A and B are shown apart, each in its own frame.
Chain A
Amino acid sequence: MSTDTTIERHRTSALTYFLGQNIGLVLALVMLVMAVILYCAVYWIEQQMLPGNFEITSTVNNTMPLVLSAIGQAFVVLTRGLDLSVGGIMDLSNALAAVYIHDSVASMVGVSLVILLISTGLGLVNGLLVGVGRLQPILVTLATLSIYQGIAIRVLPQPGGVIPPVYTSVLVNPYQPYALVYILLFAFLWYAFRRSAIGVSIFAIGNDEQAAMANGINIVRARVTAFTLSGLMSGTAGLFLAATATAGDATTGNGYTLSSIVAVVLGGMNLFGGRGSGIGVIAGAFVTTMIVNILFFSNIDPLYQSFYEGLFLLIAVVLGTLISRLLRRRS
């Protein structure tokens, strides 16, 4: 057949088309910029200056556990599931770190690796129950959330333990926002995941499970991997949480189950699977923290914080949905 022919493309609307395809990511980044501007504004009004190194460092450090747990959640959301055990795994990882990590380098590295291994195993348990056992993700992870929390409480019944200062300064340096390096690392890892065979499989089952099967994709393996990765990320998040707090508490991870879902949604990822970007999810995690910061500097009564957080979330979701509908109609 003729070879001089070329593909006809729709160049005129290339930008609109790109926006339509990556709307979630674009909206998440726009939201992040807006949140930063708003934060700077309320900060200026309160303090008559712009946020400095200290504020940036503490924002980045405080967001790290959420960034990590949200990326973990994202793997599962891509497969059309939810992982409610994120908080439980973080609790356990946090508690184990507080009890067993001591001052020596060997202990810091060795125990951390063991904790990550355990967290990965807990994720694997979720994955096997959902993937091989064909059980509902929400039911499975609701149950394992309680179980993992229970074990965490057993490990560390009272808040306490000590995290070596060296450990803290390596993970979440309190003086400089070095933790941004980890963000870049995870952004790159996401980039690689998106371009790997397992990444394609996980996206594929979220697109259409039947189609994935017809294409010979191993859907059980993809699903198990998603939950396992989620466990690994939650475990990492627990370590960062311990490092930030410099001590352990077997309950501080609880809130991350829901806030990781919030970050995933704000990051523009589709809760029905198959669509979304890890970069967007990282942005979503920062937006979530920014909202809390903005509320803090707006002098809102802490009693109403939860109310306003919910309100912000609702507004963000409604706006995001409206804009993406508008864009998709035009493209």
Chain B
Amino acid sequence: MSGEPDTAGETTAPAIEGIKLSRAFGGVQALDNASFSARRGEVHALVGENGAGKSTLIKILGGRLLADTGEVRVDGERVELRSPDAAHGRGVWTVFQELTLFPWMTVAENLLVRREPRGFLHLIDRKRMAAEADSILVELGIRHIDPSKLAEDLSLAQRQIVEIVRVIVQQPGILLLDEPTSSLGEKEVEWLFGLIRDLRAQNKCIIFTSHRWKEITDIADRITIFRNGVELGTFTEIDESKAVTLMTGQQVDAFYPQPPALQEKRPRLEVKDLSGPGISDISLRLHAGEILGVGGLAGHGHRELFFSLFGAEATTGGEIVVDGDKARINSPRDAAALGIALVPEDRKTEGLLLPMSVGVNLTLAVLPRISVLGVIRSAREAQLAHQMVDRLKIRTPGLRNPVGQLSGGNQQKVLLARWLLADSHIVLLYDVTRGVDIATKHEIYELMLSLAREGRAVLFYSSDAEELAHLSHRVLVMREGRIAAELKAPGITAEDIVSAAVREATSVVD
């Protein structure tokens, strides 16, 4: 049985199924004729790399997205889930990955939105609402979340818990959870799994996604593996290396290239006791030719660190030294002048000018070099852009096409290429492979290594611990805005990183 696709005939109709679902976003086929089904009384895990189509599937089943083609069935009956409301009507409730709390409403208001207790003149009774929220939280064993607080004042883990609670109280028949554990500590995960087991005992159907293999094997009855928008089979038991091979489409060792050996230890970037919103007392040293990984759970200060180093976030104390000189970085412009480049995860809002052409986006950081008296020489622009398109294998119909038309991975490469052209010698890569397809991921890895080989210093945050473990010379693990551990290659494993990240993480539940 082990490792074999589960083909056992199902006597009753599955609780929920997706049949030959396809969905494209721009040029990217997020789901490609994928089928999936889950039964009542089971916990079903969806696994796969980022961008494999899991979230898209969850959104379609949860009524957030419509499939381009294919159909969804609930209890054997074909349904059109045009909105989350329609899904709710069928007993399908979803905890979406991007949180859906209202920041300027209280926890109580968020928990009971659209189901507020009514009183005088059928108006919302705030007192009863507060009392109901209290009893909901207490009943579920959550004592550290004050229901009168605004959602924006909660920590990421607390927000995730509220998000889960809000769906659980609806007593869903089919519960979809998209990466519910990504921002939770060990205790919270245990709490959640307790709830999930209770639901399973009540013959509910629970579908969830996770990147943590241990969690998946802990709780899932069946596992469906996705790659590039296609489902590769459903398993009752499968070992990790086989699963990873399926997910990535290649052997893990071959998939991640080896980082080049560090020659000399010349510090390019030194950070001393850097503090600011979300980070405190960060000290690190980044050498020429080094790939320094930064890991940890989402929301523990990585973003703040990277954006502070790039001058896009204010700091309150500490020192940044670039090539031996104390640096004042108050804006991205300062950072760029010092040779620091940032490639952010959210390329749509933080880096690329989507409606503008590939050529313009590539040469944006070197405008002075290709201009005469402020006028861009288009021949020079085209020449440089062509070089980069060739070198990075950017798949674009042409230099004049808007960047917005390219796939996510190719957009990411355009950003990388921009900073390559700009000769930035300190490159900050913030979760650059998130949502990027496997082939492009591999090319980005190769590119990172070539940056390091050229003697540039790479600071590299990834939400994918596996990636950090394989590509970094060292990994700094952040927790609550501080550096909690430093791991040195060789021999770093993803588990090391994750366990350093969750150790002693403050807990929301008992």
In the bound complex, do residue B123 and residue A215 qualify as a contact, i.e. CB atoms below 8 Å apart? no
- Tell me if B104 and A7 are in contact (CB < 8 A): no
Given contacts A3-B138, A214-B100, A216-B88, contact A200 B146 (CB under 8 A): no
Query: Which chain A residue has the least Cβ–Cβ distance from B113?
Result: A215
A266 beta carbon closer than 8 Å to chain B: no
Interface: B124 (CB within 8 A): yes
Say whether, besides A3-B139, A210-B98, A213-B84, A9 and B146 are in contact (CB < 8 Å).
yes
Residues from chain A with a CB closer than 8 A to the CB of B480 are: none
Give the docked Cα–Cα distance between A196 and B98 (Å). 27
Partner of A216, one of B83, B103, B104, B148: B83
Bound Cα distance from A7 to B130, whole angstroms: 11
CB pair A7–B138 under 8 Å, yes or no, is yes
Q: A8-B143, A200-B113 are in contact. Are A214 and B102 (CB under 8 A)?
A: no
Q: Bound complex: CA of A10 vs CA of B145, how far in Å?
A: 10
Contact of B143 with A192 in the complex, beta carbons under 8 Å: no
Select from chain A the residue with minimum beta-carbon distance to B139: A1
| Interface hits, B120-168 → A, CB 8 Å | 121, 123-126, 134, 137-141, 143-150, 153
A3 to B103, CA, bound (A): 29
In the complex the two chains form, is B123's CB within 8 Å of A196's CB? Answer: yes
Residue from B83, B85, B105, B144 within 8 A of A203 (CB atoms): B105
Please give, as numbers and ranges, the residues of chain A lying within 8 Å of B123 by CB-CB distance. Answer: 192, 195-196
Determine if A6 and B143 form an interchain contact, defined as CB atoms under 8 angstroms apart.
Answer: yes
A259 proximal to B (CB < 8 A): no
- Whether the Cβ atoms of A214 and B64 lie closer than 8 Å is yes
Residues of A close to B64: CB separation below 8 A:
213-214
Which residue of chain A lies nearest to B124 when distances are taken between CB atoms in the complex?
Answer: A195
The reply to whether the CB of A223 lies closer than 8 angstroms to some CB of chain B is no
**Nearest Cβ on chain B to A8's Cβ, whole angstroms:** 6
Query: Which single member of A192, A200, A207 contacts B114 (CB below 8 Å)?
Result: A200
Chain A residue nearest to B122 (CB atoms) is A196
A34 interface contact, C-beta 8 A: no
Any A CB within 8 A of the CB of B101 = yes
Residues of B within 8 A of A204 (CB): 102, 105, 113
User: Chain B contacts of A7 at CB under 8 A?
Assistant: 134, 137-138, 143, 145-147
Shortest Cβ distance from residue B116 to the other chain A in the assembled complex, whole angstroms? 7
Q: Determine the residue in chain A with the shortest Cβ distance to B84.
A: A216
- How far is it, in angstroms, between the C-alpha of A211 and the C-alpha of B116 when the chains are bound? 17
Q: Does B310 contact A (CB under 8 A)?
A: no
- Give the residue name and chain of the B residue nearest to A193 (CB): B123
* Bound CA–CA A178/B6 (angstroms): 78
Among residues of A, the one whose C-beta sits closest to the C-beta of B85 is A216
B126 touches A195 (CB 8 A): yes
Q: How far is the CB of A209 from chain B (nearest CB, A)?
A: 11
CB distance from A249 to the nearest CB of B (A): 39
A276 CA to B123 CA in the complex, in Å? 19
Across the two chains, which residue of chain B brings its CB closest to A215? B113
* Tier of interface size on chain B: 35 or more
- Which residues of chain B are near A192, meaning CB under 8 Å? 121, 123
Residues of A within 8 A of B102 (CB): 203-204, 207-208, 211-212, 274
| B96 close to A (CB within 8 Å) | yes
Return the contact of A207 from the options B84, B104, B141 (Cβ within 8 A): B104
Asked if A275 CB lies within 8 Å of chain B CBs, one says yes
Q: How far is the CA of A211 from the CA of B98 in the complex (A)?
A: 9
Instruction: State A217–B110 Cα separation when bound (angstroms).
Output: 13
B88, B125, B138 — which one has the most chain A CB atoms within 10 A of its CB? B138
Q: How far is the CA of A10 from the CA of B106 in the complex (A)?
A: 14
Given A2-B141, A3-B138, A195-B126, A217 contacting B103 (CB threshold 8 A): no
Q: Which of A1-45 contact B (CB under 8 A)?
A: 1-3, 5-10, 17, 21
A197 on interface, CB distance cutoff 8 Å: yes
Known: A192-B121, A196-B123. A5 touches B103 (CB 8 A): no
Which one of A1, A10, A204, A214 has the greatest number of beta carbons of chain B within 10 Å? A214
Task: Indicate which residue in A213, A217, A275 contacts B104 across the interface (CB closer than 8 Å).
Answer: A275
In the complex, the chain A residue whose C-beta lies closest to that of B145 is A7
Q: Which residues of B contact A197 (CB under 8 A)?
A: 114
A interface footprint on B393-415 (CB within 8 Å = 1, 0 otherwise): 00000000000000000000000
Rounded to whole Å, the gap between the CB of B145 and the closest CB of chain A is 8
Per-residue A-contact encoding for B61-98, CB less than 8 Å = 1, 0 else: 00010000000000000000001110010000010101
Which of chain A's residues have a CB closer than 8 A to the CB of B83?
A: 213, 216
Give CA–CA (A200, B140) in the complex, Å.
26
A288 to B64, CA, bound (A): 44
- Contact: B124 with A196, CB < 8 Å? yes
Question: Contacts A204-B102, A207-B103; is A21 near B150 (CB within 8 Å)?
Answer: yes
Cβ–Cβ contact A210 & B100, under 8 A: yes
Give the residues in chain B near A9, CB-CB below 8 Å: 146, 148
Bound-state CA distance A200–B114 (Å) is 8
Task: Please name the residue on chain A nearest to B98 by beta carbon.
Answer: A210
Question: How far, in Å, is A327 (CB) from chain B's closest CB?
Answer: 13
A215, B100: Cβ atoms under 8 Å?
Answer: yes
A2 to B, closest residue via Cβ: B141
Cα separation A2 to B142 with both chains bound (whole Å): 10
Closest Cβ–Cβ distance, residue B69 to chain A (whole Å): 23
Given contacts A196-B124, A200-B114, contact A208 B103 (CB under 8 A): yes
Query: Taking the nearest CB of chain A, how far is it from the CB of B137, in angstroms?
Result: 6
Nearest CB of chain A from residue B331's CB, rounded to whole Å: 20
Contact between chains at A1 and B104 (CB < 8 Å)? no
Closest 8 A/B residue pairs (Cβ): A216-B85, A207-B102, A195-B124, A195-B123, A211-B100, A214-B100, A1-B141, A275-B104
User: Besides A200-B116, A208-B102, A216-B85, 11 other CB < 8 A contacts?
Assistant: A9-B146, A192-B121, A200-B109, A200-B113, A203-B105, A207-B102, A207-B103, A211-B100, A214-B94, A214-B96, A216-B88
B contact set with A: CB distance below 8 Å: 64, 83-85, 88, 94, 96, 98-105, 109, 113-114, 116, 121, 123-126, 134, 137-141, 143-150, 153
22 example contacts (A-B, Cβ-Cβ < 8 A) are as follows A3-B138, A3-B139, A6-B143, A7-B137, A7-B146, A9-B148, A10-B149, A17-B148, A195-B126, A197-B114, A200-B113, A200-B124, A203-B104, A211-B99, A213-B84, A214-B84, A215-B84, A215-B100, A216-B85, A216-B88, A217-B114, A274-B104
